[in-house]
Structure 1
Amino acid sequence: MRASSGRRPSMTVNGATPVGATTPEEVAFAQEVQRGEPILEVRDLRKHFPLTKGVLFKKQVGAVKAVDGVSFDLMQGETLGIVGESGCGKSTLAKVLMNLEPATTGSVKYKGEEISRLSGAGLKAVRRNIQMVFQDPYTSLNPRMTVGDIIGEPFEIHPEVAPKGDRRKAVQDLLDVVGLNPEYINRYPHQFSGGQRQRIGIARGLALKPEVIICDEPVSALDVSVQAQVINLLESLQGEFNLSYMFIAHDLSIVRHISDRVGVMYLGRMVEIGTDLEIYDHATHPYTQALLSAVPVPDPTARESRDRIVLTGDVPSPANPPSGCRFRTRCWKAQEKCEREDPALTVREWLEGRARHDSACHFAGERENV
């Protein structure tokens, strides 16, 4: 794991800490989780968006299955990377975990407590501990608010975190933590570059001293050099404040650099999950192998001799996914069994070594002649 152990240091002035918990949810969420134990447990999570017809009398005729049976654990202090094609359900998964979108069915537990059905004070308590960094640094910041108001807004919702008289100093401390000049507190978002805006978004996410931060493609809109700065910042903050990350991205090289474990999604499902070494060097699911074969190689010689996997056909509609294995319509290993049976995300008994990790394929195995 990349993060250091121990309690998170305070980021508020004079070492101020939040007032004691008052609701059952706050009491439960105040419990510490040991390193290596799950802090977030997701089981069979589904989010279906209804398809309707009619104007006055709407009738549901189907559903877009954006997230359809996803299960995983996020361990305390680790970074779990989530990769997959556009439209596979990564961002919807993040919104459901934050309760920005209500789950259709399934379970999301934070520190052993079910949070997918929370509202009111309970939802407020969990959102203090689970924060989000959004994808677009240009639209995620209110252009009419100063940086000080943007970063300090969480203190208005959770006043116990920072006393009113200390909030300006707390915001300046946060700007310093993310590498920005504390004197920029009165500036507006349009006065910053893309990388600086994303740092402001990260500072806002850190304001309430959360334990989990969900990063929804936080560097996809940035230049490569700025991407490296933001990634290095996230890594240093993880060690300093003992954070757990769920990091969503398209760039497989970035995900490998920052992640301890990696999950691969396809059409609303998790098809493979394992450590970064298991996924990148010993992938067993055909879809993961196809993704990795598309990663650009800087060496021209190696690029020419490389055996690239070119998938045929289009991604099926999430409103009408294929029966059985959802990848079978584009898979070169597909057989009759794949049409009949939906493969479970589990370790196949014939796999050995680092190939022994969860894979949702009836014929999981490492690729030959790479």
Structure 2
Amino acid sequence: MGAAVPEEVAFDHAVPRGEPILEVRELVKHFPLTKGVVFKKQVGAVKAVDGVSFDLMQGETLGIVGESGCGKSTLAKVLMNLEPATSGSVRYKGEEISRLSGAGLKAVRRNIQMVFQDPYTSLNPRMTVGDIIGEPFEIHPEVAPRGERRKAVQDLLDVVGLNPEYINRYPHQFSGGQRQRIGIARGLALKPEVIICDEPVSALDVSVQAQVINLLEQLQGEFNLSYMFIAHDLSIVRHISDRVGVMYLGKVVEIGSDAEIYDHATHPYTQALLSAVPVPDPRARETRDRIVLTGDVPSPANPPSGCRFRTRCWKAQEKCALEVPLLASPAWLDGLALHDSACHFAAERGADPGGAAGPPETV
């Protein structure tokens, strides 16, 4: 099952709301490190994504957060098959898609689209807006017959809040927020079911970020979309996401609902990440209890043994160096703290099990 999908209609069956539309299991992407010029020899690998598993449900938004270099964007590219997976499984509507090519891959990309991070470089400056948004129709002509494409493009511009008369303008004639709306319109052109948003608002002003986020939420309701939303801004992720996954050095270390992650985080890295969120009130900023991590993020080419966070973790014990913690719900937790966390000593702040030391210096 899923070895090849010869027909473009292979993914036309609907998935009930709340059921998995995208299933990722033990996904790995390693980039080889080589030496030599003529006779190249592999001497290692950058483990950008190293055993990631999650489900994306129909109609939900799954947020992915983590430090720069943790593998978020690489994960998005592997899901889109822009980068081939080293190993692991990606199933869309029950079909294995990670090794598809030809007609099968074409069918998947019609149903899974991507909105890129930088609206200044993701649009071709030599193409008009009409050509940019209408280009998917050249690849999938069955979506919009040639005589109806101009009207289809104008309708998409209207849907994302732009004047349909702008169809003959070029990208440099638009602001950053307007360019990102054009990118969203291009992503909607083929009527996909899943949109992967790779930091779609990080290059925009705060006021424009809110407009784009509200637009994405509105479109999700109108078109029954499922989002994977990658971002650094934890407040934006909480606003738009139903569930949140936290990545560290190529692995998902904690995943759960927005309330579970933001109010009842059990992984030390998630707790440190949340404590670093800026506080607008100066008085609250003086009394906040922030976790300050020591040391640098290890190299993904040579990650620590056992738990990858142990070199910066105040709970680390001998077990952490010997055993890789599983992403699972610890039996000793309950309530909203009972969710998947890859830590041997998972607990909410102030309730550390096993006699682990307290958090590092607080400010």
TM range, smaller chain: over 0.9
Conserved? CA contact 1:261–1:274, under 8 Å: yes
Change (3 A) 1:316 1:169: same
Question: Structure 1: how far apart are the matches of 2:36 and 2:362?
Answer: 54
**How far has the Cα of 1:25 moved from its partner?**
5.0
* Contact 1:28–1:111 (CA under 8 A) maintained in structure 2: no
TM-aligned CA distance change 1:139 to 1:26, over 3 Å: same
Q: Cα 1:21–1:283, aligned 2, differ >3 Å: closer, same or farther?
A: closer
Q: Give the structure 2 partner of residue 225 of structure 1.
A: 207
Matched, 1:255 2:237: yes
How far apart in 2 are the matches of 1:194 and 1:324? 43
Q: Distance in 2 between matches of 1:291 and 1:234?
A: 25
Distance in 2, Cα, partners of 1:314 & 1:150 = 42
Supply the distance in 2 between the matched residues of 1:23 and 1:348 (Cα, whole angstroms). 39
For 1:240 and 1:205, the matched residues in 2 are separated by 14
Q: How many residues align?
A: 352
Contact residue 154 and residue 208 of structure 1 kept, 8 A? yes
Counterpart contact for 1:174–1:203, Cα < 8 Å:
yes
Whether contact under 8 Å (2:177, 2:208) holds in the other structure is yes
> SS of 2:88's equivalent?
strand
The 3-state SS of whatever aligns with 2:85 is: coil
1:45 Cα offset (Å): 0.1
Could you say what secondary structure the match of 2:221 adopts? Answer: helix
The DSSP-based 3-state class of the residue aligned with 1:93 is helix
What runs of 5+ residues in structure 2 fail to find an aligned partner? 350-360
Judge conservation of contact 2:3–2:100 (CA < 8 Å) in 1.
no
Give 2:165's match in structure 1, choosing from 178, 183, 186.
183
Structure 1 residue 301: deviation in Å?
Answer: 2.4
Let me know the Cα RMSD of the aligned residues.
2.4
Structure 1 stretches of 5 or more lacking a match? 1-18
Specify which of 308, 328, 344 is matched with residue 310 of structure 2.
328
Give the C-alpha shift of residue 138 in structure 1: 0.2
Sequence identity, in percent? Answer: 90
Q: Which range is displaced more, 178-187 or 297-306?
A: 297-306
Q: Is the 8 A contact 1:21 1:27 kept in 2?
A: no
Q: CA deviation at 1:305?
A: 1.4
| Runs of 4 or more above 4 Å deviation | 19-25
Per-residue Cα deviation, 1:194-216 (whole angstroms, up to 9, x for no partner): 00000000000000000000000
Deviation at 1:369, TM superposition (A): 11
Structure 1, residues 162-184: CA drift from partner, whole Å, max 9, x if none? 00000000000000000000000
CA distance, structure 1, for counterparts of residue 6 and residue 123 of structure 2: 33
Distance between the aligned counterparts of 2:270 and 2:4, measured in 1? 46
Can you list the C-alpha shifts for 1:136-183, whole angstroms capped at 9, x where unaligned?
A: 000000000000000000000000000000000000000000000000
Residues 189 and 197 in structure 1, CA contact (< 8 A), matched pair in contact too: yes
> How far apart are 1:331 and its partner, in Å?
0.1
Q: Output the CA distance in 1 between the equivalents of 2:79 and 2:278.
A: 32
**Number of the residue aligned with 1:369:** 362
Q: Is the alpha carbon distance of 1:189 and 1:260 closer, same or farther for their aligned partners in structure 2, counting shifts above 3 Å?
A: same
Q: What's 1:343 paired with?
A: 325
TM-score w.r.t. length of structure 1 = 0.93
